Amino acid sequence: MNASPDEPDLAFDIDALFSHLVEEQGGELSVPMDWTFTLRGAEIGQLRSIAETLDDYLCELEESVEEIDEKGRLSLGRPMLSVVKTGALVPSEVKKIADHMQQIAERTGIEYEGVEVFDAIDDDELFDWLSLDEAVWRLRHFSDSGLNPGEELPWVFLLMGETLEQMQKLAVALVEGGFPNSQADEDPDEAGRFGVFVFQEGSNDEERLAGAHNQVMKIAREHGATLDGIQFLSEEDFVDVTVDLDD
């Protein structure tokens, strides 16, 4: 949110930011949004220590952030801590958090780079299986939230079939077809169907995701399987989420 000399800096002018949301973007202030406050420092360890003190926020650390200057040159910037508060906040609440971030910056010698606001993804929707079109839109949301194009991002495809034997053969075919972390699930779902999870080291790249989807589906169709959906989780994160949802 860079400002021209004649315009307010929306990263720091909270009143102007709210006016922009309502008057320019037609935003509904009663709808929860992700308010993201950015801190930058020279040492990732220092930012991690700060994050550990912010229990009331979602904190996201990035050790290096790709930056493009005015001449289009790419470089790696300083480590970044994104401090996210989700809610239908009013200006006084956002100002209070911004003041807190500024105080942290002044006390620790790091830099506070202001606040941005994004549409929040509902927790119930976050882990739903997505169609390819929905997955592409989720990538665009990630980009709007600060994830750089091409940055590493895990993908997992869930394929479904009628029998365990069918899906075990599919898993083998997927491994042979270039997807080495393909696993058949021996437990059926509520409808009695069986699945194969295809975990991949992906990236924030719509074309690459679509290409992987097409390759996976070509093999899946040859084995009579269908796509149940796509998610952006590593195998480790997927296990953690599954355990949490089952509790």
pLDDT tens string, the chain, 247 residues long: the values are: 445 556 789 999 999 999 998 887 777 788 888 899 999 999 999 999 999 999 889 898 888 766 666 666 666 778 999 999 988 999 999 999 999 999 999 999 999 999 999 876 655 555 678 999 989 988 887 776 667 889 999 999 999 999 999 999 999 999 999 999 999 999 999 899 999 999 999 999 999 999 999 999 999 999 999 999 999 988 887 765 553 434 4
Do 14-120 and 126-246 agree at the fold level?
A: yes
pLDDT digits (tens, 9 = 90+) for 34-61: 899 999 999 999 999 999 999 889 898 8
| Assigned token pair, 4 | 């021209």
DSSP codes joined into one string, 27-71: --TTS-EEEEEEEE-S-HHHHHHHHTT-TTSEEEEES-EEEE-TT
Amino acid (1-letter code) at residue 100: H
- d(CA 66, CA 167) in angstroms, rounded, equals 40
- Domain regions of the chain by residue span: 14-120, 126-246
- d(CA 142, CA 58) in angstroms, rounded, equals 15
pTM: 0.54
pLDDT score recorded for residue 73? 63
Burial 26-52 (b: 16+ CB within 10 A, else e): eeeeeeebbbbbbbbbeebebbeebbe
Q: How far is CA 54 from CA 89, 121, 192, 194, 247, in A?
A: 18, 21, 44, 42, 26
CATH class of the domain at 14-120: alpha beta
Can you say how many angstroms the Cα of residue 89 is from the centroid of all Cα atoms in its chain?
22
Does the structural domain 126-246 have CATH classification 3.40.640.10?
A: no
